[in-house]
Amino acid sequence: KQEVTQIPAALSVPEGENLVLNCSFTDSAIYNLQWFRQDPGKGLTSLLLIQSSQREQTSGRLNASLDKSSGRSTLYIAASQPGDSATYLCAVSVYTGTASKLTFGTGTRLQVTL
């Protein structure tokens, strides 16, 4: 059974700091890994998708890496801003015989302070 863990559970950093969020998964047989952002009481916004054959993806100040063999992914946020405050979730896409589905981590709650 695929299990996804995110560390730390919560993080508070001052504005302008670079930071790294961690995600680990137990089964390397994945199609892709996605990072999402969730604002309080809202739905999820897709940030980055890394295919299983890729090593990293970049979008603006965000960079996500994937090491499938070790079951790890990191999300790097450069020059953090107060607007980055949210919960960040990673999810792996696994195949269950007929279709793929997402298995989510428990999330990292990020607060960027002024």
Partner 1 sequence: KAGVTQTPRYLIKTRGQQVTLSCSPISGHRSVSWYQQTPGQGLQFLFEYFSETQRNKGNFPGRFSGRQFSNSRSEMNVSTLELGDSALYLCASSLITSAYTDTQYFGPGTRLTVL
Binding residues for partner 1, rule: CB under 8 A, are 31-32, 34, 36, 41-46, 49, 51-53, 89, 91, 93, 95-96, 98-107
Cβ-contact 72, 4 below 8 angstroms: no
Q: How far is the CB of 66 from partner 1 (least distance, A)?
A: 12
Q: Residue 13 or 63: which CB sits closer to partner 1?
A: 63
Query: From the CB of 52, what's the least distance to partner 1, in Å?
Result: 6
The residues, any chain, with a CB within 8 Å of residue 68's CB and separated by 6 or more, are 28, 30, 52
48 vs 77 by CB, closer to partner 1: 48
Burial class (CB in 10 A: 0-12, 13-18, 19+), 11: middle
